[in-house]
Amino acid sequence: MQRSKLRGLAIISIAIFIGGIVFIALGIGVLNKATHVSGTAAQDYLNNKTSSSSGIKSTIKSTIANTVIDAFTPYIQTLTHVTKGLMASIGAFFCLVGVGICVLGTGLFRTKYLAWILTIVLMFVAIIIDVVGLGFVGGSLPSSSEKGIMSVKLANALIGILIAHLFANAFIIYYLTRKTTASIFRT
């Protein structure tokens, strides 16, 4: 009986550890994207949009547009630097959370009481985040006549992932709070 409890606990611990690795990979990906954000990308995009037409009217429009773009260049560059800093901060945060989750999975595998408590608390927090995420993704679905924030395929995929994550977290809480499993951590 005790072996089957430890086997289930090992599976949960490994799943949590893999989740931590996913967070680390996500953080590295965001950090990588942050290094590739260019201060002139927005300016180049706007210049290409205004210089594609021909004719006198379009030349006047592109001259006015270029003047406006040149006037806003310092603001665009500042916004780019702020965006780059935010992306780097988010990436670093994801990496730190991933390392913490890996440590938590290892502690759970070693049947540490503190890891058990933290896992239960974090699973409740994750359930709340999943519910909020479902509300956000469901609210961003486009209606039949409007264009939404994201495509319907992406929204449906996110909804599926959030529901699966919600059920997985609920199962982990259920499994860890059963008397027989909880007694392993209290010894």
Rounded distance, CA 108 to CA 116, Å?
6
91 with 34: CB under 8 angstroms? yes
Rounded distance, CA 163 to CA 160, Å?
5
Token duo for residue 55: 């004719």
CB atoms inside a 10 Å sphere around CB 119: 24
Give every CB contact of residue 46 below 8 A, 6+ residues apart in sequence.
65, 69
127 with 170: CB under 8 angstroms? yes
Mean pLDDT of 110-131: 93
Rounded distance, CA 29 to CA 3, Å?
39
Q: Report whether pLDDT(154) > 90.
A: no
Rounded distance, CA 181 to CA 1, Å?
11
Q: Report whether pLDDT(61) > 80.
A: no
Q: Report whether pLDDT(19) > 70.
A: yes
| Residues comprising the chain, all counted | 187
Mean pLDDT of 48-75: 63
Tell me, what DSSP letter sits at residue 143?
Answer: -
- End-to-end alpha carbon distance in the chain: 16
Q: Report whether pLDDT(53) > 60.
A: no
Rounded distance, CA 4 to CA 43, Å?
61
What's the confidence (pLDDT) of residue 77?
76
Q: Report whether pLDDT(82) > 60.
A: yes
pTM for this one? 0.72
Would you call 185 exposed, middle or buried from its count of C-beta atoms within 10 A (0-12, 13-18, 19+)? middle
Mean pLDDT of 39-52: 54
69 with 63: CB under 8 angstroms? no
